[in-house]
Amino acid sequence: MAREELTRLTGNGNGECGKDDCPNVYRTASGSFVVQGDVSNAFTTMRDAMLGQVPEEHRDRFKQAVRNDPTLRDRLHALAARPDQESIALLVPNVAHWTKRTTQARNDLAHTGKTSNHSFEELIAVVEVTTAVVILNVLHEIGLPPKRQREIVRDRPRLRHTTGLAREWLVASESGRRGCR
């Protein structure tokens, strides 16, 4: 049944969908599958069918190749890349660590219902920094000059506080522990 499901979802079996087979499933140039539109059911069904055909020892690697792109981490990086980069650097000293911890918190909460790998204080920092990055994106979109964006990050009490949270909780420490002071 899994083989038939895979063939139905991917049309002729080589990753190309027919018009009525899987209209929301596309294959990228790199060979990854992307699902657009109502992805919740279509993507899960397709991936589960394909995983049923992959030997157990290769499933983890296959799961990485077949995912609903772009990942949350990719989207967060893109969000941080849009506004003035000096403003982002003032606000988030380590964008890569912020995206990693934010993604881990979201995944833990979504998949296990708890965030035991994050302290309450770190979760507050994740939410506040993410909110501030969105605010900077809005300022960028309305055409606020970069110099003014930097002034806002430095001068507004809420964003100054958020900068402090990011420096305290969202910077990787040398010891490898998160949220070290």
The pLDDT mean for the chain works out to 80
Residue 52 vs residue 10, higher pLDDT: 52
Could you read off the pLDDT of 23-40 as tens digits, one per residue?
555 555 555 555 555 555
Compute the distance between CA of residue 127 and CA of residue 133 in angstroms, rounded to an integer.
10
The pLDDT value given to residue 37: 57
> Would the pLDDT of 8 be above 50?
no
Domain extents in the chain: 2-65, 72-169
E strands in the chain: 25-27, 33-35
For residue 18, what pLDDT band results from cuts at 50, 70 and 90?
very low
- pLDDT of 173 reads 74
pLDDT of 178 strictly over 70? no
Phi/psi of residue 99, nearest 5 degrees: -65, -40
3 state SS of 98: helix
Q: What is the mean pLDDT of residues 153-161?
A: 97
Contacts of 21 (CB under 8 A, 6+ apart): 8, 9, 10, 11
pLDDT in tens, 58-116: 888 887 777 767 889 999 999 999 999 999 999 999 999 999 999 999 999 988 999 99
